[in-house]
Copies of this chain bind each other. A is one copy, B any other.
Amino acid sequence: MVTTPAESVLRGSPYRADCPSRRILDRIGDRWTVLVVGALGDGSVRFSELRRRVEGVSQKMLTQTLRGLERDGLVRRTVYPEVPVRVEYTLTDAGRTLREPLRALEEWSIAHLGDVSASQEDYDRPDRASS
A interface residue numbers (CB < 8 A to B): 5-6, 9-11, 14-17, 20-25, 27, 29-31, 34-35, 38-39, 41, 52-56, 70-74, 94, 97-98, 100-113, 115-116, 118-120, 123-124
Contact = CB atoms under 8 A, between A and B. Distances in A.
B71 A119 contact: yes
Give the copy number: 2
Contact of A104 (B34, B39, B104): B104
25 contacts: A6-B103, A10-B41, A11-B38, A11-B41, A14-B53, A15-B38, A15-B39, A15-B53, A16-B55, A17-B55, A17-B56, A21-B35, A21-B109, A22-B35, A24-B105, A25-B34, A25-B35, A29-B30, A73-B116, A73-B119, A73-B123, A74-B116, A98-B108, A100-B104, A101-B101
